[in-house]
Chain A
Amino acid sequence: MLKVENISGGYGGVPIVKNVSFKVEKGKILGILGPNGSGKTTLLKCISGSVSPLEGEVHIEERNMKTYSTKDLAKKMAVLPQLHANGFSSTVYDAVSLGRYPYQTGFFSSWSEADEQAVVSAMIQTDILKYRDTQMEFLSGGEQQRVFIAQALAQSSQILLLDEPTNHLDIAHQKQILDLIRKEATECGVTVVSIFHDINLASLYCDDLLLLENGMVKAYGPPHEVVLQEQISTVYDAQVSTYAHPEMPKPQITMMPSEQAVRQETVTAEHIQILPAYIQLKTDKALKVISSAVHNPGMGWYDTLLNRSIAPDIDLAHVKEEARQFLQEQQFSSTNTVMMLTAVQTNLAAIRSFSHETCSIVVMVTAGVGNAVDATRTFERDDLPHIGTINTWVIINGKLTDEAFYQAMITATEAKTKALAEQQIRDSHTGTIATGTATDSLLIAATQYGEEMPYAGPITAVGKLIGQGVFETTLTAIERYKQSKINEKG
C-alpha cells in the first residue's frame, strides 16, 4: 500500500532523514519511534510530501507519489500534523467538514449526501458530535486534537499519517483514539503510519515499529524485535527496563530512575515477630517478593509479610474477601502486604537464619502436614482442597535476578519435599511418601541490595543456603507440629 524506498530528506539541502526504507501493507499500523531530533517529523513530512525528499521515492499503491495531484493525494492520504494554534475560531462542524475539501468541485457548493455522512460519522467516531456547533477556541487541547483527527477521518483516505495523535490527551482519550485507529486499520483496511512519543503505546497498537536514530533506521520490525532493553536504552540514552504486558504479547518498557540504591537493612530471624494471630515481618524498605500467597500473590514489592493463623473450618470460597477485611481491621496496607493463611498455630513456626560468607537468608516455616499428599498420585483422588498447609518464607539478603527468583522457588520446593520424606510423612490415601500438602504456599523475598546474584540453583552459594535452610527449618516445623498433635491427644 505504502512503500518508502531509500528516502533522504531535510531542510535547505541538509539531510535530516537518511536512507530510510519501509513498507506498510494495507490495514497495518507502522509506528515511528525515536528520541527528540531523530527525524521522526521530517520523515513523516517526506512521506506526506510537505518536504520534498532529496533522494528516494514514495510509492502509494505501486504509483510514485509525485504523479498524484495535490487533491488526488489528499483523497489517498490524510495527514494529522502536530497541533498548532490558529487565528480564527470556526465551529467544530466547519472544521471537520474541511476534510471533504478534496471532494468539492465546481463554482458553487457541491456538498453531497456522502460528504455529510463522512463528516457526521467521523464526529461520532471521535466522540465530538456533542460539540458540533461549539467554537474551536472553547475546546481543550485534547478535544481540538480529536476534531483534527475527525477532520482526517472525514477525508476518507486509505492512508493515514499521524504525528503523535495522542498528544495532549488523557489516557481515556488516548485509548479511545488509538482503539479507533486500530479499528479503522483492521476493519476498514486503512494503512496507518504514526509517530509515537510513548514507546509502550506504540508497542501495544502497532504491527511494526521503526526506530530512528540520527535520521537513520536503527531497528525495524515487529514490536518484540524493536523494543529491546539494550536498544531502547542506547538510542534514547536513558536507562530503561523491559517487561511483558500483563495481558498482551507486546513488550513494554519502564524507566529506571538513576537514584542511588538505598541501603536495605539485613533481615535476620529476630525481625520476624510471632503474635498469636499471625507471624509478621516488617521491613523499612519494600522487599521484592514472588509468592503463591492468598493476598497479593505473584511478583511485586511489599514491606509487610504475614502468615496468619486461622480456624481450620474457614470458608475457602470467600477467603480473599475475608483476607482484605482482616487487613483493614488490623490496619495493614492492603497494597503493601503479602499474606498467607495457615491452620497451624503461630507458636509452632520454625524460624532460622542461615549464612555463608557472601550471603544470608532467613527461613520461616509453618508445617501442617495432616493433609499431606503425594503429588505424583493425586490423580487418584477427587476431594476438595482444605486447610492444612506448609507455608514457607525464604527471605534473601541480596539482589536476585528474575531467573534466580524462579530457581530459588524450585530449590526451596525440592528441599521441602525432601524434609517430608525424612519425616516419613505419608499420603493418607496411597500410603506413599508425601511431597507436600494440597495447599502449600511458598514465598521468596529479596532485599535487592548488594551484588546481583544471577542464579539460585542448588549449587550456587545462595542455592546451597536455601536447600539447607528450607530442609532443616521444615524438619523442625514438622517435629513441632507432630509434638503439638501428641500433646493435644495426650
Chain B
Amino acid sequence: MIKKYTAAYIVSFAVLLISIWCGVSIGSVSIPLTTLWDDSDAAAYSILWNIRMPRVLLAALVGASLAIAGAAFQGLLKNPLADPYTLGISSGASVGAVFTIFFSVSLPFIGAFSLPLFSMIGAIITLIAVLSFAKIVDRSLKMETLILTGVIFSSFLSACISLMIALTGEELRSIIGWLLGSVSMRGWSHVRLILPFVIAGGLILWLYRRELNALVYGEERAKYLGVDVRRSKMFILVAGSVLTGAAVAVSGTIGFVGLVVPHMVRMVIGPDHRHLLVISFLNGASLLVICDLVSRTIIAPTELPIGVITAFIGAPVFAYIFLKQRKGRMS
C-alpha cells in the first residue's frame, strides 16, 4: 500500500517536471535545457524566463488549484461529478472577475488583488446559492440535482456576463477568449497574484484530508466519528472557492480539470484524501501545462483557448462517469 502511494508521488512529480520542461522548451522557438542557467543567448533566455516560464507556471498553478478544489468538492458532496465548473462556481467567479475588469474596480490597499478577491466572493456566493437551492429541491443532494442546479446557475451567470459585456461595448473577441479560459499573455504578476491563494487554499484542504475521508460516509457518520462537521464543511468550501476564484481571476473559466484529474487519480490510487488531494494537485498542474502546450502548438501560429482542449478531454470523461454511476446504481 505504502509503495503504491510512494510510486504515485514520484511519478506525478516527474511528470510535472517533464511537462514544465516541455512547456518552456517547445514552441515557435525551440529552447534547449541549458538556457535555464546559460544567458548567452539573450533572446532565448528572455523568451524562457519572461514569456514561457510565467505562462507555464501560471498554467500549473491554475491546474493544481482546480484539481485539488475538484477533489475536495467531490469528497465533501459525495458526488463524483462535482467540480468548480460543473457546480457553476467558475461562472460565479467569472462574474466577479468580469465585474472587476469592466468596471475597473480597485479597492484601496489591496490594488491588484481586487480581481482575485472579487472572483472569490463571486465563487463563494455562487457555491452557497447552488448548495442551498439544490438542498431545497432535494435534501439528499442527489448527483443529478446538484449538477442540474449548477447548469441553471451557470446559464444565468453567463447571461449576466454577456449582458455586462454588451453594455460596455468592448471588442468581443478577447473577452470570449478569456471566457473560454486562457493563460496566454500573462506574466509574473499573474503568478504572484495567484500563488498565495494556491498555497493557502491547498494547505487548508490538505489539513482537512482526514475529515474529508470521514465526510465521504455522510455528515451524520462523520460527526459520530468525531468530525466537527460544520467547521470542516465551512473551511473546505471556503478553501475550494478561494482556489477557484483565484484560478478564474487569472485565466478565466477552464472547465473539467477539477473533474477529470481527481477521477483519474482515484481510479489509480483509490479515494483516500490523504493522498488523493496532493496527487490531484500535482497532476492537475501537469495536465494544464500540457493542455496549454497543445493549445498553442496544435494549429500554430493560431492559439486555441485552453478551455477548448480541456473540454475536449473533460466532456467525454464526464459522460463516462455519469454512465458508470448510473449503471452502478441500476445493477
Contact = CB atoms under 8 A, between A and B. Distances in A.
Note whether A and B form a binding pair: yes
Interface of A: 48-50, 69-75, 77-79, 81, 84, 86-91, 94-95, 98-99, 101-102, 104, 107, 109, 133, 137, 151, 155
A84 B218 contact: yes
B144 interface: no
A88 B224 contact: no
Interface in B197-216: 207, 210, 213-214, 216
B270 interface: yes
A78 B214 CA distance: 14
Chain A interface main SS type: mixed
Given A69-B228, A72-B226, A101-B226, 11 more contacts: A70-B226, A71-B228, A74-B224, A75-B226, A79-B224, A81-B224, A87-B80, A88-B78, A94-B272, A133-B1, A155-B225
B186 interface: no
Contact of B224 (A69, A78, A87, A104): A78
Contacts of A95: 217
Contacts of A75: 226
Interface string B67-95: 00000001100111000000000000000
B272 A86 contact: no
Interface of B: 1, 74-75, 78-80, 143, 207, 210, 213-214, 216-218, 220-221, 223-229, 266, 270-272, 274, 328
Contact of A109 (B214, B223, B271, B274): B274
A107 B203 CA distance: 10
A90 B214 contact: no
A137 B224 CA distance: 22
Nearest to B78: A87
B271 A90 contact: yes
Given A87-B79, A94-B270, A101 B223 contact: no
7 contacts: A70-B226, A72-B226, A74-B224, A78-B224, A90-B216, A98-B214, A101-B227
Nearest to B213: A98
B279 to A, nearest CB: 15
A102 B226 contact: yes
Q: Kindly list the 6 A-B residue pairs having the minimum CB-CB distance in the complex, ordered from nearest.
A: A74-B226, A102-B226, A87-B78, A79-B224, A88-B271, A71-B226
A151 B214 CA distance: 11
B216 A86 contact: yes
Nearest to B230: A70
A72 B217 CA distance: 20
Given A50-B220, A50-B223, A70-B223, A89 B271 contact: yes
A86 B74 CA distance: 12
Among B207, B227, B328, which residue has the most Cβ atoms of chain A within 10 A?
B227
Among A70, A133, A151, which residue has the most Cβ atoms of chain B within 10 A?
A70
A78 B229 CA distance: 16
Contacts of B271: 88-90, 94
A91 B270 CA distance: 8
B218 A86 contact: yes
A137 B325 CA distance: 12
Nearest to B271: A88
A90 B270 contact: yes
Given A88-B80, A107-B207, A101 B216 contact: no
A104 B211 CA distance: 11
Contacts of B272: 90, 94
A70 B270 contact: no
A279 to B, nearest CB: 60
Contacts of A88: 74-75, 78, 80, 216, 266, 271
A181 B207 CA distance: 35
Contact of A98 (B207, B225, B328): B225
A81 B221 contact: yes
